[in-house]
Structure 1
Amino acid sequence: MPPREPELPEGTDQIVAGASAEGNEGSGGFVARASNGGARETTDRLVTQARDQIATLRDQAGEKIRAYADDGKGKASGLLEELGGVLTDAARSVDTRLGEQYGEYAHRAAGAVSNLAGRVREKNVDDFVDDAKEFVRKSPVVAIGIAAVAGFALVRLLRTGLDDVSRVGRPRDED
């Protein structure tokens, strides 16, 4: 790098003709200078554009999240319906093996799971969000406990998955 001339400001390698704001008023260089609030108008316009872009991205993200939530809701209700069917079959088996007295409990459990599946299917995502907000307002301590347990379970799941990925290709240790 060539030696710098002493009159240049720090970080400048060379003088560009017309780029100085002092004394070179119509020299054709690029100088950011406001005239009659032009910079303010430009700044306002850029801020407005940024806000519009943020609002658009937020709306798009909300739509994607809602679509994923609807898909998850459909899968959950399907799984609950299948579980209800399995419990109904198990209740019939209990009826024949142990008697209807014990089978009644299994039938109630199967009915409860089937009812839950129907409620999940009928509700929309906004209803679930509202229910969750109401639950947190009514029982914040329980909500924090549930969040802590869910977080712990998620971390354990991720660690197990990462441990499994790191073991791929390595010989298994014999205990």
Structure 2
Amino acid sequence: MAETAKPKAAAKPKAETKSLAPKKPAPAAKTASNSKAVVKASPAKGKTENVTAKVKADMNDFKTKATDGAKAAAEKGKERATEAVGSIGKLIRDSAATIDENVGKQYGDYARGAADAVEGFATKLDAKDVDVIAEDARQFVRKSPALAIGAAAAVGFVLARLFRSGGKDS
């Protein structure tokens, strides 16, 4: 008699033991869910290009406004400086007659020559554009930085003295 093979009974699933602690997902599952969250959170490519273009446009607008404001302030400063230098020239010219009487005609001529030079400088300053003046200043600093630093220090010293004396009087 041949033995007939008895089919083996299917294995019964083991009963899971319930734990009181919550189940922790496997580390691979964490990584997969995090990457999905990142993908979901990042905007579409077209949206980032729009935002980038808007930021660039806003920065260009800001730069233009700042440049225009600085240029307007420089124009106003140039006008005031031209008026001040012109006034100094006129003051020197007006005092030339007094110098003629008190010191001599030769020194009065020196004063008139100085007045001509100062007024000529005021005229040149008035005729130049602010951009040209700024470029001239850059070239001056490049050619002789030590002289530029010395001039800046002298101007700073004079301004400091003016502010100190103005503060004590009031």
The counterpart of 1:94, out of the listed 91, 95, 99, is: 99
Residue 148 of structure 2 corresponds to 143
Distance 1:115 1:64 in 2: 29
- 1:18-66 CA distance string (max 9 Å, x none): xxx95xx9xxxxx9534xx71x322222122111111111111111111
Q: Are residue 44 (structure 1) and residue 52 (structure 2) matched?
A: no
Structure 1 segment 44-83 matched on structure 2, within 5 A: 44-83=49-88
Residue in 2 that maps onto 1:11: none
Aligned mates of 1:97, 1:155 — CA distance in 2: 34
Match of 1:108 in 2: 113
Q: CA deviation at 1:92?
A: 1.3
The structural deviation recorded for 1:149 is: 4.8
Q: 1 CA distance for matches of 2:52 and 2:157?
A: 41
2:139 aligned residue: 134
Q: 1:83 deviation in Å? A: 1.2
Larger Rg: 2
Q: Which has the higher contact order (CA 8 A, sep 6+)?
A: 2
**1:124 aligned partner:** 129
Query: How many residue pairs are counted as aligned between the two chains?
Result: 135
CA distance in 2, matches of 1:106, 1:154: 26
* Structure 2: tracts of 5 or more residues without a match: 1-21, 23-31
* Counterparts of 2:90 and 2:159, CA distance in 1: 29
Q: 1:102 Cα deviation (Å)? A: 1.5
| 1:150 to 1:43, Cα distance in 2 relative to 1, 3 A | farther
Q: Deviations over 1:125-159 (max 9, x none)?
A: 0111110111122112322333455556667777x
| Residues 2-32 of structure 1: CA deviation (Å, up to 9, x unaligned) | xxxxx9xxxxxxxxxxxxx95xx9xxxxx95
Q: Which amino acid aligns with 1:77?
A: T
Normalising by structure 1, report the TM-score.
Answer: 0.64
Q: For structure 1, list consecutive stretches of 5 or more residues without a partner in the other structure.
A: 1-6, 8-20, 26-30, 169-175
Normalising by structure 2, report the TM-score. 0.66
Q: Output the aligned Cα RMSD.
A: 3.2
